[in-house]
């Protein structure tokens, strides 16, 4: 039986808690059904969405990911700011921003390469790292979209701090009536250059 899976970086609980605190007013102002908010302890940085994966393929993927991860040294990136896709006039995805150091780009590129080699669909959009915290309902009226835009303009979240990346993770995603549940399946540690075997 296959499962929905993705490869991602975890965030420290302190960063998740800071995001929770500083977006609390926004989340209460833009409550369901206007915006579907991600449970903030589910917030992560997706590097590759895999879709349906069989248990056998999951084992292969874990082994290849372990080898790829060893090629990358641990690194840090800072988290901060609030934005939307595709633009403020038509907000659909609400996100927290982060800096994109070369090490993050290299890791994402390496993971994309191994996944395509294993037969997963290539990503057709450029890598644009962000932390999705909410999705605006597709059926909103013009007045509701204006309400969303004004609420976002009034919200300042500032900087949340730095994240140290020392591993990449495979997660299972279960779509349940009460929301999506993410379960940790596998971790592949990053290694610094002088520790590589």
What does the pLDDT look like over 142-154, one tens digit per residue?
Answer: 999 999 999 999 9
- β-pair type (75-87, 159-165): antiparallel
Give residue-wise pLDDT tens across range 68-84: 999 999 999 999 999 99
At 194 the pLDDT is 47
- List, by residue number, the catalytic residues: 44, 130
At 32 the pLDDT is 87
- Rounded to whole angstroms, the Cα distance separating 84 from 126 reads 16
Give residue-wise pLDDT tens across range 94-130: 999 999 999 999 999 999 999 999 999 999 888 899 9
For residue 89, what are the β-bridge partners? none
Phi first, then psi: give them for residue 134, nearest 5 degrees: -160, 155
The domains located in the chain, with CATH, are: 3-195 (3.90.1140.10)
pLDDT band (50, 70, 90) for residue 196: very low
């Amino acid at each position: 039986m296959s499962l929905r899976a993705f490869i991602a970086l975890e965030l420290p609980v302190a960063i998740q808690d800071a995001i929770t605190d500083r977006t609390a007013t926004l989340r209460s102002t833009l409550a369901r059904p206007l915006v579907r908010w991600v449970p903030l302890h589910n917030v992560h940085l997706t590097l590759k969405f895999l879709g349906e994966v069989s248990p056998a393929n999951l084992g292969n993927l874990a082994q290849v990911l372990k080898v790829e991860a060893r090629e990358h040294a641990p690194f840090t990136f800072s988290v901060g700011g609030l934005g939307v896709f595709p633009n403020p006039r038509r907000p659909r995805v609400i996100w927290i921003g982060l800096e994109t150091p070369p090490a993050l780009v290299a890791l994402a590129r390496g993971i994309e390469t191994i996944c395509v080699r294993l037969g997963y669909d290539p990503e057709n959009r450029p890598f644009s790292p962000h932390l999705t915290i909410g999705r605006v309902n597709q059926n909103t009226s013009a007045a509701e979209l204006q309400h969303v835009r004004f609420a976002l303009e009034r919200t300042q979240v500032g900087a949340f701090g730095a994240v140290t990346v020392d591993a990449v993770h495979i997660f299972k995603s279960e779509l349940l009536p009460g929301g999506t549940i993410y379960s940790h399946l596998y971790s592949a540690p990053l290694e610094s250059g002088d520790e590589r075997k």
